[in-house]
Structure formats: C-alpha cells, structure tokens
Structure 1
Amino acid sequence: MGDPFNEGYDGDGESPVHEVSVSAFRIGATTVTNQEFAEFVDATGYRTESETYGTSAVFHLAVKANTHDILNRVNNVPWWLNIRGADWAHPAGPLSNWADIPDHPVTHVSHNDALAYCQWAGRRLPTEAEWEYAARGGLSGQRYPWGNELHNDAPGETAHNCNIWQGEFPSRNTIDDGYLTTAPATSFRPNGYGLYQTSGNVWEWCSDWFLPKYYKTCHAQGTVEDPQGPTIGRGRVMRGGSYLCHDSYCNRYRLAARSSNTPDSASGNLGFRTVAL
C-alpha cells in the first residue's frame, strides 16, 4: 500500500509504502447505484442524513434548482453550492430525479447512510486495505488501475480510462470523457479483477478512521495482516477520487491517494461500494 511515486499530498499520509496481507474477500464490481439504493429505501423507509438536514452540496455547474433553493456557497470550496432539497433522490437539486440516472452511483450518502444500507443488504464497507488491493486489480505499484499513464496512446483505443475533470477547474469542463458529473457505474474498462471505476467518478467510503500517520505505524510493524485502520481519526477514509478531480488541485484519482470526511458528510460526488460478509 502507499504511493511509490512520492507525488501524494503530505497531509494525506500516503507514505511510506508498506506491505499488507488481506484475507480473501468478495467486493462489488461497482459502486452501489441509484436503483439499488432506491430498493433499500423502498424496503425500509430509510431517510438519509441529507434528507434529514434538508440540504446537500451540489457542484455549481450541475445545479437543477430554483433560485430560492440555492442557499450559499460552501466555505473554502466555492464551486460547491448548498442546495435545499438536494439528496440521493434529487442529486442535482429538487428539479432532478434519480430515476433519470438509475445506473449511476448513488450520491449524497454519508458514511452513516452507507452503513445503514450495508446492514439491510447483509454486507459491509471495505477496509482501506481491501479497497486498495481490489482497486489495483493485480497491478502492483502502478499509478492507476490500468497502468502508469493517464491516457491511452495505442491506435484504436479509447483515450479516456476514467471520469475526471478536463479543462480549467472549476469553471470550464470540456467533457472530453463524456460526463460533467457522474457516469453510469459500469462505464469505462474494468480493472484486472473486474472492478469498475476505482479511479474517478465518485469517492468511495471505507470503514477505516483516517489518521495521516497510520501508514508509518504499519510500516514499522513489517507485513500487516488485515489492517482495520486506526482506532481514532479525524474522519472516515474516502478513496478513488471523483469526477471533480484534476491534477491542478486534487490529484487524488491515483490508486494510492487518500482523503477523508466526517461520518455525517455527504455531497454530489460521494458514494460507496460494499463487501460480502
């Protein structure tokens, strides 16, 4: 695990590279989709935290809402707008509907919401170690699930391998990869283990608490067996990057990249995939 290129952010704790052993596990080929989450909601009547709060964050170029529902820009990240009525069922705001994109990843789900879904589905969130092992698809020490170069150069191949930002962030997206926001969960070529979009599209919750110095602790122990993460942290781990990642400000669509958020946080670029019990 970890960043073999020394190109991660210091505060994310992507180094040192260290050896980890994980027991066999089965993980979803895709993130949980809107259709799958709708089945959970229909069966249980569950209300997500975004629905309870009444608002959630939507990327400014994607908003579908009346003016009175656009409440404010989010502090320090002005490309996010706080939208009244934005939630998993209305991912771009109250004038949007999940049923228009049933095969896209569900978004606006907090870590707590993801755990509720897992309990209903008889599954769990992956540990960070499981996530990285599966996301690499058998390619050790590579930058992306398909290799080290972002784009394909071979004649006849699709140039784009993932759904990230193209153009000048955050004002102009050329949409060269075909998507301004989320793409269907099975878009682009899967990795060597059959997993789709472990780079880009939506951030994915893991079960671990996030502590930047944790990798140093693991490295000092030699090969770590089935690490469960630290017992404390400043948030829960998120992996994989999203459709908003761009190397000019958020080069976190690399396989080694890490980030975190508080367990009750949700936004239009955050989802999850699950692991079998």
Structure 2
Amino acid sequence: MKNKTFWIFGVLTISIISLAYGYTKIIVPKKEIAVNAADCHELPSSNESEFKPTIENKFKPNSDKTPKGMVWIPGGEFSMGSNVEDESLCSIKGVTKDAAPIHRVYVDGYYMDQTEVTNEEFEKFVKATGYITVAEQKPTKEEFPTANEEDLITGSVIFTPTPSAVNLNDFLQWWRYEPGTDWRHPDGPQSTIKGKEKYPVVHVVYEDAAAYAKWAGKRLPTEAEWEFAARGGKTGNLYAWGNNLKPNGKFQANIYQGHFPIKDGDTGEDGFKGIAPTAQYAPNAYGLYDMAGNVWEWVNDWYSVDYYKSLAESGQTIKNPQGPAAYNDPNDPSQIKRVHRGGSFLCTDQYCTRYMVGTRGKGEYRSAANHLGFRCVKSK
C-alpha cells in the first residue's frame, strides 16, 4: 500500500501543491529556510503610486433582487495585480512575478457568494443530482495508461505536519495522498463532515466546482472579477482589509502562525488551528467573507505565467477579461492548470503569503486537496 500511495500521489496530485510552492522550490537556494517566525523581519511592501484609482459603476439593482447568500459587486475599472516582489515576510525574492505588471481592467457588475461554498450547500447539490466528485471516482487506465490496475485508487491530498523542522524546499514532506479521502471525508476515510456543515467544502476539483455552479444557476468568477471583489473598491491595498496585516493587533483571516509545517506548529493566534467555518472574521467593504486565507478558491481562468504581461502590453483597459486562451506554465508544462485565488489556512509568513490580494495561485484542474474550495458569482 505504501508503494501504491506514493505512486498515485506522484502521478495524480503533485501539481496541486505547486499553486504557490513550486516557485519556492525552484527559486530558493538549496539551504534550510528559517522556520521561526521571529527570524522574519521584513514586511512586504507595495508601491501604491503604480495603482490608479478604482472607479466603481454607479448602477445598483433593487436589494430585493439579490439572491440569497450573495452580495452585489458594482464592477468598474481598477488596477489589477501586485507589485510585491517577495513571496513571504522572510523575503523570498521574485516569486510573485506572475502577478505583475499591474494593469487596468474593467468588469461589469455581478453578484457574488458572501462565503465559500459550504459542506451543507454542496451536500444539497449532491443529493439533488447524484453528482460524484472526481476524488470519489476511480482513476482510469485511459487517464494513466502506464499505471498498474491496483494502483488506481480513489483519494485526495492532505496536509500532513512533519515531526520536526524540515527544509522548506521539499513540499513533498508535508503532503500525502490519502486513499478514501474526499469532500465527505476531508481528513481521511474515517473522518466526516458531521458538525462541519458551515465549513467550506474541500477536495473539489475545477469541474466539481463548475458543476455545482451550473446547478445553482451561477458560475465561477473570472480572475478579474475575483480580484475586483476582493479589493472591495479600495485602491492598491496589500490585503482585502487594508495594508496592515494585523490592524489593532488582530488577525483578519485564517492563516498559519508559528512553526511551519511541524506537528502542533500552528499556534492558532488567529483563533483557528487548521480550517475554520466560514465568516469568522469581519467582511471586506463589499460584505464578502474570507477573501484571504481559510481555503484557496477556484476561478474560471486558465493559468498562464505571462498573461498579465500580455494584457499590460496592449496599453488598454481590458474589458471583462476571460483569461488566456491556453494554459502556460514553463515550470510544469505537462500539467493543465487553472488559477486559484485567496490563499489558505496553510499560508504563512515563512513560506507563502499569497493571501495578499493581488497575488495568484495555480493548480492542475483535476487535482484536489484539503485547502482548496470555491465560491460562485451570478451575472445581473
């Protein structure tokens, strides 16, 4: 079973972990990275002069037309992207460059879910449709022709803390493929979602999220829509709530504090160790919860490392961008990837600070993990 698990992990889901970590693995020199938060002194900074003011649309629909659990996002013109060069407070240089350069974008108004889709919401969809997620489906020989039949087993990827401090260059040390893991069994085959109805659903791949959205009469947001909403009408902020990570000394999102990724390393200073129920922190200016941390969120766009560069080079304000026509990740060219946004409960100042509002994540479109979910939007 150990060999089977290792094989299936390596083939089926290794790219899901590359959403932020692959860059670190490639760019950082082969040496031990500090795992003590006290060793991290340099805060990320942003040159706000590169951001032009956000211009919101004036139209507002009647409030009685707002779908339950959603809020109106006015849309408009804004500066999209990030000019922060550091991956983390430990100043790993240059790895957020796929979120540059800053460029002007316009989006029409739309409705957006206030929270990430929860277990109870996803369960209603499954009961109504009989839908089976990708993690619950046995991989096929057509997908993996070189695999042995006994190696084709259902499951998903789970974060697994290490016994002690490790070199952060090798993310395989804290992730494992666990057979029998899926949205109903988020922490392994013996776990359940009982009592976790308000937690965000996880272990869903892109097509699972898109299927739910279609059933609900909604769709997945574009990357531009997601960022416009996360910024809340503000211009150039580092975070969905402002420029201070802890205003008045309080965390505003469920992220990781303490020694990453060791067992019991998360101190839970933000109120949670691991994943949290939705809406545990103040909403942003548009009334949206958890636009940073808790779980990464699928968006509709293909991932291309140089997409922002191509938009900026046009010299125009891009209207309702739908993402690139094809995926492009030179670091992993064989994998088909979609964009993730928002960061997760595993984002830490020592390793991955992609809860910063303009930064991006990525993942193989048929791979899932216990820190990845989604929310939906609806056109007016």
User: Which 10-residue stretch deviates more, 113-122 or 7-16?
Assistant: 7-16
Are residue 32 (structure 1) and residue 32 (structure 2) matched? Answer: no
Are residue 166 (structure 1) and residue 257 (structure 2) matched? Answer: yes
The residue aligned with 1:2 is 81
Give the superposition deviation at 1:267.
Answer: 0.3
Q: Is the 8 A contact 2:230 2:284 kept in 1?
A: yes
Give the superposition deviation at 1:93.
Answer: 1.0
Q: Which amino acid aligns with 1:243?
A: F
SS of the aligned residue for 1:140 comes to coil
1:57-111 CA distances to partner (integer Å, 9 max, x unpaired)? 111149xxxxxxxxxxxx8432112111110011111221112200010000000
Q: Which amino acid aligns with 1:5?
A: V
Q: Greater CA radius of gyration, 1 or 2?
A: 2
Alignment partners' CA distance in 2, 1:153 and 1:276: 35
Are residue 175 (structure 1) and residue 261 (structure 2) matched? Answer: no
1:90-147 CA distances to partner (integer Å, 9 max, x unpaired)? 1111221112200010000000110111111111000000000001111210000111
Alignment partners' CA distance in 1, 2:210 and 2:365: 10
Q: Is the 8 A contact 1:35 1:99 kept in 2?
A: no
Counterpart among 305, 310, 332 of residue 217 in structure 1? 310
Are residue 259 (structure 1) and residue 338 (structure 2) matched? Answer: no
The residue aligned with 2:158 is 58
Counterpart among 218, 235, 260 of residue 140 in structure 1? 235
Alignment partners' CA distance in 2, 1:207 and 1:12: 21
Aligned length: 261
RMSD: 1.6
- TM-score, normalised to structure 1's length? 0.90
Pairs within 5 Å for 1:94-105: 94-105=189-200
Alignment partners' CA distance in 2, 1:90 and 1:192: 34
User: Which 10-residue stretch deviates more, 131-140 or 91-100?
Assistant: 91-100
Pairs within 5 Å for 1:97-136: 97-136=192-231
Alignment partners' CA distance in 2, 1:31 and 1:40: 15
Give the superposition deviation at 1:12.
Answer: 5.1
Are residue 236 (structure 1) and residue 324 (structure 2) matched? Answer: no
Decide whether aligned partners of structure 1 residues 127 and 105 sit closer, same or farther in structure 2, where only a CA change above 3 A counts: same
Question: Which runs of 4 or more aligned residues in structure 1 lie more than 4 Å from their structure 2 counterparts after TM superposition?
Answer: none
SS of the aligned residue for 1:153 comes to helix
The residue aligned with 2:377 is 275
Alignment partners' CA distance in 2, 1:168 and 1:201: 18
Q: Which amino acid aligns with 1:193?
A: Y
Alignment partners' CA distance in 2, 1:81 and 1:243: 17
SS of the aligned residue for 2:137 comes to helix
Q: Is the 8 A contact 1:4 1:141 kept in 2?
A: no
Relative to total residues, which structure has the larger helix share, 1 or 2?
2
* Structure 2 gaps, min length 5: 1-79, 88-93, 139-153, 163-169, 328-335
Counterpart among 290, 295, 320 of residue 226 in structure 1? 320
Q: Which amino acid aligns with 1:34?
A: N
Decide whether aligned partners of structure 1 residues 113 and 12 sit closer, same or farther in structure 2, where only a CA change above 3 A counts: farther
- Determine what percentage of the aligned residue pairs are the same residue: 45
